[in-house]
């Protein structure tokens, strides 16, 4: 009898604690929700910069896959991403969505379809980029990818998402020039690092077909992300869009579909299904999960910040994610043995990234 009373007491105590924790979490999320949409633009800038840290970090996992197939890694990553986004919505959607998901999609089904298709193209483009990296090397490929993303992504974001009235176009162009220059200088530093360490650098002239493929992929496939965010996220300039979290969910759904279609083709052609799902070393799957948290976790944070600053600012600012790749390179001593000139070039590139972000931040308050 005493045992039963003790059990009931403990059960009630646990129930009370859970109620208290739920109330605290509810109050916290409500404040976060208010911060996303009503607090200063400075909060949004911080969110974007934190998203760039997440984006610039998950590429480190790609370098450590060993013999695990990249197509299998991408399949796991976008599957985990889909789960993370929709679980987040199920748990906390009530704090970020003002109406039901199905009702929102029903009202704007054509736009929902556009965002899903953009997610499919974006995921396929990411895999093509990874394949080209293996052909021409990361130094040249990242340089091309960054330049294309900054130029075409910002142009599309400005045209489709619109520019807020207080944004200065000349200052925006100057910031873009700084970001492009930063990317080129950092890539030059990476190229010199290879030479300083005695590594062979692939000849770009020999790989001209891969360069064209990379440019095409970034213009046609990778540009689908800024398109989806520009037309899909509800802002004061684009009132017909979806609420940010729902837009990310639709994008992740498209990424899942696109990845399963494309990865299935590659895994079947290369006979890598077994090693994808039953690898001897599970580190590839673990890396995929970590990457999913950083990749689509960053997408959630970045998208929630868009209504305050507009996609025309959020997109180029997000491209500063490349700077984290180099900072992680310094942490892992990838530049060990490099000359002082190489370090100076890297420092100059990182400084220009910082200048570009500052100019974009100033532009918001212009």
Number of H helices, E strands in the chain: 15, 0
CA–CA distance, 238 with 243 (Å, rounded to integer): 11
Per-position DSSP letters for 254-302, written without gaps between them? HHHHHHHHHHHHHHHHTT-HHHHHS-SSTHHHHHHHHHHHHHHHHHHHH
What pLDDT sits at residue 58?
Answer: 83
Please list, in sequence order, all residues whose beta carbon lies within 8 angstroms of the beta carbon of residue 286, skipping any fewer than 6 positions away.
none
225 pLDDT more than 60: yes
Q: What is the torsional sign of CA 253, 258, 259, 263? A: positive
Please, are residues 80 and 289 in contact by the beta-carbon 8 Å criterion? yes
Cα Rg, the chain, nearest whole Å: 22
Among 22-26, 227-231, 305-309, where is mean pLDDT lowest? 22-26
| Run of H or E including 55 | helix 41-62
Please, are residues 138 and 70 in contact by the beta-carbon 8 Å criterion? no
CA–CA distance, 177 with 162 (Å, rounded to integer): 20
What pLDDT sits at residue 295?
Answer: 92
33 pLDDT more than 70: no
Q: Average pLDDT for residues 302-320, to the nearest whole number?
A: 86
**pLDDT tens digits, 69-108:** 989 999 999 999 999 999 999 888 887 888 889 999 999 9
**pLDDT tens digits, 226-282:** 999 999 998 888 888 899 999 999 999 999 999 999 999 999 999 999 999 988 888
What share of the chain in percent tops pLDDT 90?
28
173 pLDDT more than 80: yes
What single-letter DSSP state applies at residue 63?
T
Q: Average pLDDT for residues 291-296, to the nearest whole number?
A: 93
7 pLDDT more than 50: no
Regarding predicted confidence, which is higher, 152 or 3? Answer: 152
What pLDDT sits at residue 117?
Answer: 96
Q: Average pLDDT for residues 283-312, to the nearest whole number?
A: 90
């Amino acid at each position: 009898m005493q045992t039963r009373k003790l059990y009931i007491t403990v059960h009630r105590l646990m129930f009370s604690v859970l109620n208290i924790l739920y109330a605290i979490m509810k109050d916290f999320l409500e404040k976060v929700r208010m911060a996303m949409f009503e607090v200063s633009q400075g909060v949004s800038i911080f969110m974007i910069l934190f998203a760039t840290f997440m984006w610039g970090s998950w590429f480190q996992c790609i370098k450590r896959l060993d013999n695990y197939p990249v197509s299998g890694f991408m399949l796991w990553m976008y599957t985990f991403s889909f789960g993370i986004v929709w679980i987040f919505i199920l748990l906390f959607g009530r704090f970020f969505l003002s109406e039901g998901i199905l009702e929102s999609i029903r009202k704007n089904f054509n736009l929902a379809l556009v965002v899903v298709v953009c997610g499919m193209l974006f995921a396929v483009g990411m895999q093509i980029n990874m394949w080209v990296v293996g052909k021409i090397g990361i130094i040249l490929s990242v340089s091309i990818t960054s330049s294309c993303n900054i130029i075409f992504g910002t142009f599309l974001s400005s045209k489709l998402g619109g520019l807020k009235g207080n944004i200065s176009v000349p200052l925006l162009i100057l910031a873009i020039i700084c970001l492009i220059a930063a990317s080129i200088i950092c890539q030059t530093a990476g190229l010199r690092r290879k030479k300083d360490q005695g590594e062979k650098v692939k000849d770009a002239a020999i790989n001209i077909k891969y360069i064209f493929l990379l440019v095409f992929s970034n213009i046609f496939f990778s540009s689908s992300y800024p398109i989806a965010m520009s037309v899909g996220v509800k802002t004061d300039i684009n009132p017909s869009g979806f609420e940010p979290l729902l837009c990310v969910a639709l994008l992740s759904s498209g990424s899942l579909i696109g990845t399963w279609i494309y990865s299935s083709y590659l895994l079947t052609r290369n006979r890598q299904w077994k090693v994808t799902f039953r690898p001897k070393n599970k580190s590839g799957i673990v890396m995929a999960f970590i990457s999913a948290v950083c990749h689509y976790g960053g997408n959630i944070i970045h998208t929630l910040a868009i209504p305050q600053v507009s996609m025309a600012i959020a997109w180029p600012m997000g491209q500063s994610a490349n700077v984290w790749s180099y900072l992680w390179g310094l942490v892992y001593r990838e530049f060990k043995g490099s000359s002082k000139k190489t370090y100076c070039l890297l420092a100059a590139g990182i400084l220009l990234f910082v200048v570009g972000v500052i100019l974009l931040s100033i532009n918001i308050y212009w």
